[in-house]
Structure 1
Amino acid sequence: MPRDNMASLIQRVAKQARITFRGPAPGPGFGENLHRLQQLLNEVRAEDLHLVPRGPAAVPGAGCSRAGAVAGAVPPVSYMHICETESFSMGVFLLRSGACIPLHDHPGMNGMLKVLYGSLRVACLDPLPPAAPPGARRRALLRSRQLCTPASPPCLLSPHTDNLHQIDAVDGPAAFLDILAPPYDPENGRDCHYYRLLEAPAGPAADPHALPREVWLVETPQAADFWCGGEPYPGPKVSP
């Protein structure tokens, strides 16, 4: 059962997100507000949003956002929209067992990810200069690969650090609460781009598992086997 104060916790998260991202970052008080938001987000559990962990094959979609997805097929990932303002968006991603959100970026955006149930493998990368034209290889730094569970603190990304990441469900279905600030907006240069990781040639003494390490990336179209469905958010109402 949800804890007694949980009807208001997700509302408090939304309110703190609005305060944190109300102006350009970093700005006066941004670090303190971000820390407070991280503390609140760390308290959120699946039951607080009326979510029940699902079986290996259960993530019923209410439609597919990707053109060409097979009609009636269950999407590998579903999204529950909670709220959105000009400064941030918040929702829940649900991944089927074995599902992957491919390597992608968040141009000019801050983000926070908190696992609600299941386990996620999150790989984070930073692009390295110089920038490359579409279709060309570009250098990047593979900073970390970490296993995240509901006991883990929120994962943070900024416009310059850990801005590219890949998210894989490990050993079963998983769900995470997601905050992006500001939201994606292609008309203002904040569109999602997908990448494929190409390991950089390593010297004979190099450890292929050592992190961080330099790799190569190439921008790719959205994978044919990845699309995101939608379903209703069942938790407490939020008014940001």
Structure 2
Amino acid sequence: MMVEAGGLVQQRKDIMTIRHVNNKVRYVTKTIKKNRYKNRKESVVPRVPKVLQELFVSCREVFKGPGTVPPASDVKKLCSILDKMKPEHVGLSRNLEFFKATGPVKVTPRVTYTTIYQCAEFSLCIFFLPATAVIPLHNHPGMTVFSKLLLGKMHIKSYDWVDPVNSEDPMPPSQLRLARLNTDSVFTAPCDTSVLYPTTGGNIHQFTAITPCAVLDVLGPPYSKQDNRDCSYYKDIPYSAFSNGETTVSEEESDCFGWLEEIEVPENSQMDGIEYLGPQIIETSCL
């Protein structure tokens, strides 16, 4: 299957057009003022929307680095900002057909991502999922993650460890571990921001796109192999498939639990990184 990005969105008539071409989001300027000087033109560059700049400034204040979790008041603050985020704030349109298949679907389509901003304390990323694309079940060790579905319809399934003690330690791939189901639902944009924490809120989750989707993720702190925050992948097995001598789960509750087995990196976890050419954050001031 060959996938290309396609579509146009007019943000301001005759001023700026956003084109998604192959692996970049391009801002194409047009002549907006003519004068007596031949071939002279003025162009407009994308300005950072106030809500995007506000998100960046708040993240700088909220995230204090590895080993810290934002207090409830700061979580509420970031959620209130993200809940206001719209596709156009990062250069997208609700009507943009940003992924278009040019051939029959034979394999699961690849996910694309772009990074708006990243530092040691947090990162802002957008993930683009064509219809039927999957981000496999994976964890977020020691991280607090805010996810805002900007476009599309998506199924989210997530778990938390029943025993979170030493949950960040490496485990043998063959070892099963009991987890409690946190979320198993379909979400349609626009919807509220979801939040996961190092040991609660669905730290281990999977995204499956029902329609083409765009998700804005705020990760604090971001993944880092050198800081032991690498991503691990899992497959889930129904609780009823195995017995557990130490944990007693009633038959009525069994659907709320599952066994997770760590696996090698799945082939469909590979993503294509693209350059972010949307509205640029201003690092030195707040709008």
TM-score band, normalised by shorter chain: 0.7 to 0.9
Q: Return the alpha-carbon distance in structure 2 between the equivalents of residues 196 and 50 of structure 1.
A: 35
Instruction: Give the 3 Å change call, closer, same or farther, for CA 58–47 of structure 1 in structure 2.
Output: farther
Q: Percent identity?
A: 29
Q: TM-score when scaled to structure 1?
A: 0.82
| Pairwise CA distance, 1:230 | 1.4
Name which of structure 1's ranges 175-184 and 217-226 shifts more when overlaid on structure 2: 217-226
1:57–1:97 contact (8 Å) kept in structure 2: no
Instruction: Give the 3 Å change call, closer, same or farther, for CA 128–143 of structure 1 in structure 2.
Output: same
The match for 2:72 is 31
Instruction: Give the 3 Å change call, closer, same or farther, for CA 11–58 of structure 1 in structure 2.
Output: farther
The match for 2:208 is 168
| Pairwise CA distance, 1:6 | 6.6
1:83–1:239 contact (8 Å) kept in structure 2: no
Output aligned runs, 1:1-240, within 5 Å: 7-22=49-64, 25-26=68-69, 30-52=71-93, 53-54=96-97, 57=100, 76-129=110-163, 133-135=171-173, 136-161=175-200, 162-170=202-210, 172-201=211-240, 206=251, 210=255, 213-240=256-283
Q: Return the alpha-carbon distance in structure 2 between the equivalents of residues 189 and 200 of structure 1.
A: 29
Q: Return the alpha-carbon distance in structure 1 between the equivalents of residues 198 and 146 of structure 2.
A: 12
Structure 1's unaligned 5+ residue stretches are 60-72
Q: Return the alpha-carbon distance in structure 2 between the equivalents of residues 177 and 164 of structure 1.
A: 17
> Number of residue pairs matched?
220
| Pairwise CA distance, 1:74 | 10
1:81–1:90 contact (8 Å) kept in structure 2: yes
Structure 2's unaligned 5+ residue stretches are 1-9, 13-46, 244-249
Letter in 2 for 1:16: S
| Pairwise CA distance, 1:105 | 0.1
Instruction: Give the 3 Å change call, closer, same or farther, for CA 121–32 of structure 1 in structure 2.
Output: same
Q: Return the alpha-carbon distance in structure 2 between the equivalents of residues 104 and 201 of structure 1.
A: 22
Q: TM-score when scaled to structure 2?
A: 0.69
| Pairwise CA distance, 1:225 | 3.0
Q: Return the alpha-carbon distance in structure 2 between the equivalents of residues 225 and 25 of structure 1.
A: 31
Instruction: Give the 3 Å change call, closer, same or farther, for CA 180–16 of structure 1 in structure 2.
Output: same
Name which of structure 1's ranges 84-93 and 144-153 shifts more when overlaid on structure 2: 144-153
CA deviation map 1:67-119 (0-9, x unaligned)? xxxxxx99610001100111101110000110010000000000000011001
Q: Return the alpha-carbon distance in structure 1 between the equivalents of residues 147 and 108 of structure 2.
A: 24
Q: Return the alpha-carbon distance in structure 2 between the equivalents of residues 2 and 127 of structure 1.
A: 45
User: Could you say which structure has the greater relative contact order, defined with CA pairs below 8 angstroms and 6 or more residues apart?
Assistant: 1
